[in-house]
Structure 1
Amino acid sequence: MKKQARDPLHAALADATFEAYKSAVIHLPEDVVRVIRKSALAETSPVARGEFANILKNIVTAGQLGVPLCQDTGVPVVYLTLPPGTPYSRDLYDAIADGVHRATKEVPLRPNVVDPLTRHNTNNNTGAGMPAIHVRPGKKLTVTVLPKGAGAENMSRIAMLLPTEKDKIEKFVVETVYLAGSRPCPPVIIGVGIGGTFDGAAALAKEALLEPVDKMSEYEQQLLCAVNKLGIGPMGLGGDFTALAVKVKSAGCHTASLPVAVNIQCWANRHATIEVKS
């Protein structure tokens, strides 16, 4: 009996997901590399400069050997951009899962995804609601993979502030980084979500990590400056750069609330986007 051929779109999306995940865990985006190099040049602590040298060597070596930048290859967070006329169906989810299966086997990726209660591991980074897929409208069909490691993700927080507590946002961001200390492998990149709802603020904070980190608004620069006054420094050993960048995304919220979420990312702000062509 002949094996049924895969739908061309399914195959193309699976292949694009594989390529995006592979690229994300091996090669950092250029804007991320630029802020690391810029911070390394500006760092005044000899110990911190040594850690920056190790980070930059790590980036080069991963690319040369074609191996992941970090042993924690994360859990798959996927952003799917759908153009008009392309319906979101179960098959698109299955295609993305197939791409993650392949990446886990061939890159290879560490099988990180487990059931939250039984801790059963599928050994392919899917199942138990993974990969997490966020669908957005767009002109082209693209897939973006944002691998999220546990060291940084575990340090993320959310707060439901009062509408009158806008001035407490900076304090909450700084406090979150202070409590994280060395655990997320600083210097970190910080995604901040402001507004929306309880879950919406967290989604905004994570999506903010996809924004170019070598360009920041005045408010983002203000938050970065406040964080870097902590002096935690690279790998928690002290220095000028506890964080490399802060990126903020906001959305309208209820008149009676002010949700704020902080999603911490380590220096390896890994993500990659591939256009799907079928």
Structure 2
Amino acid sequence: MREIDVKQVTEVVSKMCKEAAYYLPDDVYAALVEGRRTEESPVGRDVLDQIIKNAEIAKAEDRPICQDTGMAIIFLEVGQDVHLVGGDLVEAVNAGVADGYISGYLRKSVVAEPLFDRKNTTNNTPAVIYTSIVPGDKLKIKLAPKGFGSENKSGLKMLVPADGVEGVKKAVLDIIKHAGPNPCPPMVVGVGIGGTMDRAALLSKEALVRSINVRNAHPEYAKLENELLEMINKTGIGPQLGGTTTALAVNIEWYPTHIAGLPVCVTICCHAMRHAEVVL
């Protein structure tokens, strides 16, 4: 049994919030540069130039890549041989988010109640936290600050098995076309297939924190990722003002499902596909 003091979790999460807001992951930055090289539209190339320059300035000056520094989504993988001491894990995570957003001068975008008074919590908490128990004595923390310009354009389709692969392709394309340029493309597209309605949504979020250079381990899903990326980039939506670089990647995660179902959820992220990962 290995002990981890939750104070360490608070410190790490605070740092992750700032680093994720300031520094675009290397794989995403490289994809933007490659998109600029292959973009066929002159206007699209100009937009990509500005996006790349913005990311470089943010990194050099420790400034947020975007004014919308997102709602913090946290994935915790807790080793079953870990003993967490010193307090409540969820409270420790939220304390880290609060400290990171306040000390990092990141925009606080969370309201305490969603429908009626919508009063700001002033520290960007609570985070959306997902916890899973895994073998081992480590604690893995993944953080993804999710902006809502793209979140608002995500979508869910409850298909039936007869819809098959072509139905999944159509569902994804319908959601992307409906989104248009509003999610600030080039996008990273997370797709969750299977499970239940709620599990498909979670899978689509988990897909976004996987490197865009890593394809699904299942060859048929890896093929589908590539096919969907090609189809999305043929829509002409492009980098906000039209072009051939609508998406940088499509990441799919899947889960067993019911014999009568085929849930498909698409979570769209803008070109600022921010995420961070730490293992304690």
Taking structure 2 as the reference length, the TM-score comes to 0.91
- The alignment partner of 2:158 has SS state of strand
Secondary structure at 1:165 match in 2: helix
Query: Residue in 2 aligned with 1:99?
Result: 96
Q: Which residue of 2 aligns with 1:26?
A: 22
CA RMSD of aligned residues (A): 1.6
Which ranges of 4 or more aligned residues in structure 1 deviate by more than 6 Å? none
Shift of residue 8, structure 1, vs aligned partner:
6.9
Distance 1:245 1:8 in 2: 36
Q: Which amino acid aligns with 1:222?
A: E
Alignment partner of 1:218 is 2:254: no
Query: For the residues of structure 1 that align with 2:84 and 2:72, how far apart are their CA atoms?
Result: 19
DSSP 3-state at the match of 2:82: coil
* Gapped regions of structure 1 (runs ≥ 5): 1-6
Offset of 1:264 from its aligned partner? 0.3
- 1:124-273 residue pairs with structure 2 within 5 A? 124-126=123-125, 130-136=126-132, 137=134, 139=136, 140-166=138-164, 167-216=166-215, 217-235=222-240, 237-273=241-277
One of 51, 58, 70 as aligned partner of 2:66: 70
Contact 1:228 1:242 in 2 (8 A): yes
The answer to whether the Cα contact below 8 Å between 1:19 and 1:274 also exists between their aligned partners in 2 is no
Structure 2 residue 75 is the aligned partner of structure 1 residue 82: no
Q: CA deviation at 1:34?
A: 1.5
- For residue 39 of structure 2, the aligned residue among 33, 43, 47 is 43
- Select the residue among 53, 57, 62 that pairs with 1:61: 57
Instruction: Decide which moves more: 185-194 or 19-28.
Output: 19-28
**Contact 2:233–2:245 (CA under 8 A) maintained in structure 1:** yes
Deviation at 1:138, TM superposition (A): 5.3
Aligned residues of 1:73 and 1:110 also touching (Cα < 8 A): yes
- How far apart, CA to CA, are the structure 2 residues paired with 1:215 and 1:267? 17
What CA deviation, in whole Å up to 9, does each residue of 1:180-200 have, x standing for no partner? Answer: 111100010100000000100
Q: Distance in 2 between matches of 1:156 and 1:40?
A: 25
Per the TM alignment, residue 84 of structure 1 is displaced from its structure 2 partner at its CA by: 2.3
Instruction: State whether residues 157 and 262 of structure 1, in contact with CA within 8 Å, keep that contact through their aligned partners in structure 2.
Output: yes
Contact 1:74 1:112 (8 Å CA) reproduced: yes
Partner amino acid for 2:41? S
Greater Cα offset, 47-56 or 216-225? 216-225
CA distance in 2, matches of 1:175, 1:87: 46
Distance in 2 of aligned mates of 1:221 and 1:29: 21
Query: How far apart are the structure 1 equivalents of 2:42 and 2:154?
Result: 29
Per-residue deviation, residues 13-37 of structure 1 (Å, max 9, x unmatched): 0001011111111111111112111
Matched AA of 2:163: E
How big is the shift at 1:161? 0.4
TM-score by length of 1: 0.92
- Flag the 1:138–1:120 CA change in 2: closer, same or farther, 3 A: farther
Count of residues paired in the alignment: 266
